[in-house]
Amino acid sequence: MGKSSHGGSLLGLLFLVFLILKLTGVIDWSWWWVTSPLWLPVAAVVGGLLLLAVVGLTIYQAVTRIGKKRGAQA
């Protein structure tokens, strides 16, 4: 009946694998990359929202300029 989300559990599992590999010395990655499954999806969403805001604002300004030019010509 309810939808289950496997995206979060997959990222959590990936983080645990990276953590175990880091603590056992198998990988010598920066802690930023070890914890990346936790913060990278959030950063991607925030970046996408910022991109949408910039594109939307640019389109709004372009439409407003076109409207003012047409209003001045009439």
Please answer whether residues 21 and 27 qualify as being in contact, where contact means their C-beta atoms are separated by less than 8 angstroms. yes
The answer to whether residue 11 sits within a structural domain is yes
How many domains does one find in the chain? Answer: 1
Q: Which residues of the chain have pLDDT under 70?
A: 1-5, 74
pLDDT tens digits, 1-15? 555 567 778 999 999
The reply to whether 25 falls in a domain is: yes
Q: Which domain holds residue 47?
A: 7-73
Look at residue 2 and tell me if it is in a domain. Answer: no
- Position 71 scores a pLDDT of 77
Buried b (16+ CB within 10 A) or exposed e, 45-63: eeeeeeeeeeeeeeeeeee
Tell me the C-alpha distance between 46 and 40, whole Å. 10
Which residues are within 8 A (CB) of 6 and not within 5 positions of it... i.e. 6 or more apart? Answer: none
In a domain, 1, yes or no: no
52 within a domain of the structure (yes/no): yes
